[in-house]
Amino acid sequence: MASVMQHGIVVPEALADHLKMKLNREGPFDYMIEQGGVIPNLEDLTLLETFLRDSVGAENDSRSIPAGFTFLGQFIDHDITLMELKMNQDDLSRRFPAKAFVNRRTPFFELDSVYGLGLEAQGSGEILFHPDGKFRLGTDTGGIEQDVPRDAETERALIGDPRNDENKIIQQIHNLFQRLHNRFIDEGQGYADARLSVMRHYQYMILNDYLARTIRQDVLEWVIGHQAPAYRALSARHGGVPVMPLEFSVAAFRFGHSQVRGGYALNDQFGAAIFSDNPDVPDLNGGRRLEPRHAIDWKFFFGKVGEGTVQPSRRIDPLLSPALRLLKSPGIPDATVDSQASPRSLAKRNLFRAAQTGLISGQSAAAAFGYKPLGDDQLGLEIVPPPAGQKLIRHTPLWYYVLQEAHVQEDGQRLGEVGSRILAETFVGGMLAAHYSVLKDGWKPANPALGTMEGIAAHVTG
């Protein structure tokens, strides 16, 4: 493999140009589909949110998607999107144009959320890496390196993206990819080759494990065969610059919120609620050092649902776990405070964010992609009292529509047509826009097991 020198480090040529692109961390957001139509008002959306609550019962379990894929989706999202509002304080009750937002991540699926600016970056590279190119890892209070590194005094995570410390599950997925990199170095690779190997396995796993379980394969194959036409058209409007579609980041890729369970077993000894308002009740919130009892046994999160100890995710539908109404509002010290500017309910945040950015309805998105929209009687909105119910039926919020479409078309086991298309366009388009991706060169892992999250976890921990 051809190599070049960057900052004193020998870098494979396939990675060199790719790394140059990631240094531009001010990518645009924009609409993949032409916008238009009525935007629901916040009062109607607030009323809709009251009907999107569910208890977590076995009857709502997925038959095919393990619980780990919920948090893998969150990890992927943090790798490719970090939405910031330029020159203003974010306020979900106000409208802003697409150009007011900037993406501080790159849409190339190259794990800058883990690598930061890399070993080659002075200062930050010394924080994240040992001189031999291995990641610095954090140890739990029992001395096991399953945590991320932390500041000794504050316990703040010293990682490429602090959001990957939000809960104990994504925290340990982050650690898993750090350890995969270190494992490749132990097997004889240098830093740069190990980084390229991790990126390759990560991208291959996304295409062949994550998306294979999450979206319709006929849609994925069509988008690959046609080279992501909607994404290419969006990028062309920006002079070829890769763009993050708002339909993806604000609506469709938030489908994973419906998969979140009220609680999880991390191993055969410990389980807890994902979030809790009671400081005396154990939960899985992050932001603090891992205890030995919190170390994840990945057989509880990846594998075949119905076999062994694998926990399922929830089905994909509009009903969210009650735990997701307990989020702490950013910047508000009192966790019980709720507001239109920063609601505690995750469903309300999603609905308000779509209204803030002026996203089109689910029906309009379906029509734009050439799909037959769900019928009025399939939208599940008859439970919302008039006149709000009738207005939402005519202009159904895209995030809600994607969830209801999955419920109607796929029994909640995967996304339906519109949701699948938006994900496929963004994933395939982002990989094709990068200087390097496995989608462009056809790379496959020598060990097929390393093309799955179950295999990656086993390889790291075995």
- Tens digits of residue pLDDT in 324-365: 876 654 444 445 556 666 778 899 999 999 999 999 999 999
**Count of CB atoms within 10 A of residue 325's CB?**
19
As a whole number, the mean pLDDT across the chain is: 89
| pTM of the predicted protein model | 0.92
Q: How far apart are CA 189 and CA 197, in angstroms?
A: 9
Residue with tokens 């994550």: 210
Between CA 399 and CA 385 the distance in angstroms is: 20
Q: What is the pLDDT of residue 24?
A: 46
* pLDDT value for 332: 40
Q: What is the CA angle 258-354-251, rounded to 5?
A: 40
Confidence at residue 343, expressed as pLDDT on a 0 to 100 scale? 79
Instruction: Write the DSSP assignment of 108-152 as a string of letters.
Output: T---HHHHTT-TTSTTHHHHHB-TTSPBP-B--TTS-S-BPPB-T
The whole-number average pLDDT for the span 79-86 is: 92
pLDDT, greater one: 122 or 271: 271
Q: Output the pLDDT for position 88.
A: 65
Predicted confidence band at 126 (pLDDT cuts at 50, 70, 90)?
A: confident
Distances (CA, A) of 325 to 165, 345, 412: 20, 4, 21
Predicted confidence (pLDDT) per residue in 267-326, tens digit:
999 999 998 877 788 899 999 999 999 999 999 999 999 999 999 999 999 999 888 876
The two tokens of residue 85 are 């509002």
Provide the pLDDT for residue 333: 42
Q: How far apart are the first and last CA of the chain?
A: 29
Pairing of strands 101-103, 9-12: unpaired
CA distance 414 to 216: 7
User: What per-residue confidence (pLDDT) applies to 328?
Assistant: 59
Distance CA 344, CA 197 (A): 40
The tokens for 307 are: 């076999």
Among 33-37, 74-78, 81-85, 256-260, the range scoring the smallest mean pLDDT is 33-37
Give percent of the chain with pLDDT exceeding 90: 76
Pairing of strands 27-30, 244-245: parallel
For helices 453-461 and 191-205, the axis angle rounded to 10 degrees is: 140
- pLDDT band of residue 6 (cuts 50, 70, 90) is very low
Let me know the angle formed at the C-alpha of 135 by 131 and 137, rounded to the nearest 5 degrees: 120
Q: Which amino acid is at 259?
A: Q
Query: What's 28's DSSP letter?
Result: E
CA 32 to chain centre: 19
Q: How far apart are CA 40 and CA 312, in angstroms?
A: 34
Helix (H) or strand (E) holding 68: helix 68-80
pLDDT, mean of residues 110-115: 94
pLDDT given at position 4: 38
Which pLDDT tens digit goes with each residue over 414-440? 999 999 999 999 999 999 999 999 999
**What is residue 338's predicted lDDT score, i.e. its pLDDT?**
63
For residue 16, the model assigns a pLDDT of 46
292 vs 315: CA distance, rounded Å: 31
